[in-house]
């Protein structure tokens, strides 16, 4: 269970106008903007839920994921994931979660995928029998058997993403965070990734928290949607709560963004 209450995070961002003169000025005197990435966030996610976490760029989606996965320390507020405070019990916490960053790779670039998997097994200290079982299951489900012996650098984006997702699941995490997992993928890969995530959620009961800009991801995966804008939670409900009959989901969302002025 994930419990988040009154979570706040502020970043200080140096600002200056364009041009060389201003660059020199900024060297001596710098002005800062305070950006409220997260402003009094609260929500609660039960075990086994699949939640879509949506919002425009810069709304605070990634910051929330980073706090929940122990990367960032918030300024104030509480956050409990299965009774753990992510940034305080970092090591025990991250051993039980899986994180996929769609834009970044966690595989070692120059070696075959299977070597990366084995190193990840050692990092997470996964028992050999569990590792073998997981690897077999994941290889079947994500159709990896052809890819395992290929160096990561030679994989296509879709192939790599399937390997990335497998890599995040080798240690049987109870909770899976996916930060834009389908970004840049072709239709076939997208469907494969979605189907797999859905399967994990249904059969293994893995809690899935997903950020994405692709509303079809949400339609396919999430029973519940949390909308965030300008660091605040604006809406928390099912997809049907958002949808108003007949429209394209993207248009609905754009209308919603305009309505909340985010």
- Which residues of the chain form contacts with another protein (CB under 8 A)? 11, 58, 62, 66, 69-73, 90-95, 97, 99, 101, 103-104, 106, 108-111, 115-116, 118-119, 122-125, 151
Rounded Cα distance between 98 and 185, Å, is 21
Of the pair 104, 258, the CB lying nearest another protein is at: 104
Of the pair 177, 242, the CB lying nearest another protein is at: 177
Of the pair 211, 242, the CB lying nearest another protein is at: 211
Nearest-approach distance from CB 93 to another protein, in angstroms = 8
Nearest-approach distance from CB 236 to another protein, in angstroms = 24
What DSSP designation does 152 have?
A: G
Buried b (16+ CB within 10 A) or exposed e, 80-107: ebeebebbeeeeebbeebbbbbbeebeb
Rounded Cα distance between 191 and 204, Å, is 19
Of the pair 110, 251, the CB lying nearest another protein is at: 110
Nearest-approach distance from CB 160 to another protein, in angstroms = 15
Ranges of beta strands (E only) in 65-194 are 76-81, 97-101, 175-179
CB 162 within 8 A of CB 192: yes
Nearest-approach distance from CB 145 to another protein, in angstroms = 21
Nearest-approach distance from CB 248 to another protein, in angstroms = 26
Rounded Cα distance between 190 and 178, Å, is 13
Rg (CA), the chain: 20
Of the pair 200, 242, the CB lying nearest another protein is at: 200
């Amino acid at each position: 269970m994930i419990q988040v209450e009154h979570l706040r995070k502020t970043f200080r961002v140096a600002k200056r106008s364009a041009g060389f003169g201003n660059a020199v000025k900024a060297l001596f005197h710098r002005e800062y903007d305070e950006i409220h990435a997260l402003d009094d966030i609260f929500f609660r996610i039960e075990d086994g839920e699949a939640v879509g976490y949506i919002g425009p760029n810069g709304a605070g989606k990634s910051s929330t994921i980073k706090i929940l996965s122990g990367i960032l320390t918030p300024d104030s507020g509480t956050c409990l994931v299965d009774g753990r405070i992510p940034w305080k019990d970092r090591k025990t916490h991250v051993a039980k979660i899986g994180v996929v960053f769609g834009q970044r790779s966690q595989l070692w670039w120059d070696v075959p995928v299977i070597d990366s998997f084995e190193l990840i097994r050692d990092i997470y200290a996964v028992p050999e029998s569990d590792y073998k079982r997981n690897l077999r299951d994941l290889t079947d489900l994500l159709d990896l058997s052809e890819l395992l012996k290929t160096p990561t650098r030679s994989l296509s984006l879709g192939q790599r993403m399937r390997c990335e997702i497998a890599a995040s699941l080798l240690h049987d995490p109870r909770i899976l965070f996916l930060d834009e997992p389908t970004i840049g993928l072709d239709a076939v890969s997208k469907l494969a990734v979605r189907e797999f995530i859905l399967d994990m959620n249904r059969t293994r009961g893995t809690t899935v928290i997903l950020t994405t800009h692709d509303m079809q991801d949400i339609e396919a995966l999430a029973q519940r949607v949390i909308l965030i804008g300008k660091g605040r939670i604006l809406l928390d409900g099912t997809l049907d709560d958002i949808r108003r009959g007949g429209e394209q989901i993207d248009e609905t969302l754009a209308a919603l963004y305009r309505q909340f002025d985010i």
